[in-house]
Amino acid sequence: MRNILKPVAFIGFILGISLALSSCKKDTPTTVKITVRNASNQLVVGAEVILFIDETSGSITPCATCEVDQSIKKAVSTDYKGEAFFDVSDLYKSGSAGVAILDLRVDYLNNSTTTVIKIEPEIENKQTIYIQ
């Protein structure tokens, strides 16, 4: 009986450890989805959407002691649904209170608009931009 109990206990121990390790919390991606519409509320296809940090504004850094990658500049064109997607998971550090506040510029034909977007961690951040 003792000879059988040791292997069964060992297998149970290994299964318990593997279950505990596999149930650890995984980070959810931090993404941004921008929808671009014109003044008539129609979707705009082919607009250039740019996420960046304006180094001259001073209000973009999330906190005085945080280090922000000043080289961030991501540009994407809107797809057939008028949407542009960005994966900004690399900006989020696990355990931090937030990600960042980034500048957002949309260029289409001869029109341009600029605003800011607050990036919340581990969710799909959505914003609709209207361009004239």
Which residues of the chain fall short of a pLDDT of 70? 1-3, 5-6, 8-9, 12-13, 16, 18-27, 54-71, 92-98
Q: What is the CATH number of the domain that holds 47?
A: 2.60.40.10
Please report the pLDDT score of residue 26 as a whole number: 60
**Number of compact structural domains in the chain:** 1
Task: Answer whether residue 6 is part of any domain.
Answer: no
Task: Answer whether residue 77 is part of any domain.
Answer: yes
Please choose, from the candidates 118, 112, 90, 114, the residue with its C-alpha nearest in 3D space to the C-alpha of residue 104. Answer: 114
Task: Answer whether residue 68 is part of any domain.
Answer: yes
Task: Answer whether residue 11 is part of any domain.
Answer: no
Where in the sequence is the domain holding 105, given as residue range(s)? 27-131
Task: Answer whether residue 12 is part of any domain.
Answer: no
Please report the pLDDT score of residue 35 as a whole number: 97
Task: Answer whether residue 74 is part of any domain.
Answer: yes
55 CB-near residues (< 8 Å, 6+ apart): 70
